[in-house]
Amino acid sequence: MGAGLLYDATQCIGCEACAEACKQENALPQPIEKVTTAYTWTTVTPRAGTYVRSLCMHCLEPTCVSVCPVGALRKTAEGPVVYDAGKCIGCRYCIMACPFDVPKYQWDRAVPVVGKCVMCADKVAKGEPTACAAACPTGATLFGERDALLAEARARIRGNPGQYVDHVYGAEEAGGTSVLMVSGVPFEELGLRTSLPRQPLPLLTWQVLSKVPDFVALAGAFLYGISWITRRRDDVATREARR
């Protein structure tokens, strides 16, 4: 299933070392903004008496990848969902459709592109941890194999039932994500969407799109049949009239 990140909100001290490391690694302009933007791909915000990190969840079956008309977004085999700015036409369907509101746009530019966390795909491809995980002083953001991280998350919850909410955010949301979160306060209080379907969202459109070829064949045959019949009826009527 590839690489992933585990963010443990109970371990986070809000130092923003992850956000700063992200800026450096991806050559993003300062400052670190309050919410994620095309120029700030991850943030740490105090909320409900704890901290919450915002970053791309790197879905196992990403909505953004499925909606992009030109295939500018791609899920790599290693886990990260990456973006090819050279392909993007700027339709912003990814921004509109993402269940986690992750992709952001360069609204201030005449030639804009999308900005989002790419899980340091180049480093991950070389087997190195992401910049944010490497920079985290407390281990609140852990890098590893998703399977191992999911097991670790569940073990933490089981080991300290009083300390954690009994849910791993990202285990099943929208079909599961490479980034997992555990927290001491309910996830909706952290501002995360908790009503997401358990099935991957791209299925919803694929159910319709996959029927297009059959529809074209059937409708073509039906409409041609109709026009043949009406034309034939006209021909017969004309011939009858001449007689």
| Of 8-16, 25-33, 141-149, 209-217: span binding other proteins (CB under 8 A) | 209-217
Q: Which of 188, 186, 1, 14 is nearest to 80 (CA)?
A: 1
User: What distance in Å separates the CA atoms of residue 136 and residue 131, rounded to the nearest whole number?
Assistant: 9
Number of shown-chain residues binding other proteins (CB under 8 A): 60
* Of 151 and 228, CB closest to other proteins: 228
Nearest approach in angstroms of CB 164 to other proteins is 24
- Does residue 54 interact with other proteins by CB under 8 A? no
* Of 162 and 241, CB closest to other proteins: 241
Q: Could you count the other beta carbons within 10 Å of the beta carbon of residue 72?
A: 21
Cis check: omega of the bond before 31, within 30 degrees of 0: yes
- Does residue 212 interact with other proteins by CB under 8 A? yes
- Does residue 224 interact with other proteins by CB under 8 A? yes
Task: Write out the binding residues for other proteins, residues 151-170 only, by CB under 8 A.
Answer: none
Q: What is the 3-state secondary structure (H, E, C) of 44-73?
A: EEEECCEEEEECCCCECCCHHHHHCCCCCE
Q: Which of 119, 160, 193 is nearest to 11 (CA)?
A: 160
DSSP 8-class letter at 41: -
- Does residue 227 interact with other proteins by CB under 8 A? yes
Tokens 């992401």 sit on residue: 130
Task: Write out the binding residues for other proteins, residues 32-51 only, by CB under 8 A.
Answer: 37-38
Contact pick of 151, 155, 204, 236 for other proteins (by CB under 8 A): 204
Nearest approach in angstroms of CB 123 to other proteins is 26
User: Taking the alpha carbons of 10, 15, 17, 19 in that order, is the dihedral positive or negative?
Assistant: positive
- Does residue 175 interact with other proteins by CB under 8 A? no
- Does residue 196 interact with other proteins by CB under 8 A? yes
* Side chain identity, residue 159: G
DSSP string across 57-126: --BSS-HHHHH-TT--EEE-TTS-EEE-TTT-----HHHHH-TT---EE-TT-SS--EE---TTHHHHHT
- Does residue 88 interact with other proteins by CB under 8 A? yes
Contact pick of 139, 155, 215, 236 for other proteins (by CB under 8 A): 215
What would the x/- binding string for other proteins be over residues 98 to 127, using CB under 8 A? -x-x--xxxxxxxxxx--------------
**Binding residues vs other proteins (CB under 8 A):** 37-38, 63, 65-72, 87-93, 95-97, 99, 101, 104-113, 193, 195-197, 201-202, 204-206, 208-209, 212, 215-216, 219-220, 223-224, 226-227, 230-231, 233-235, 238, 242
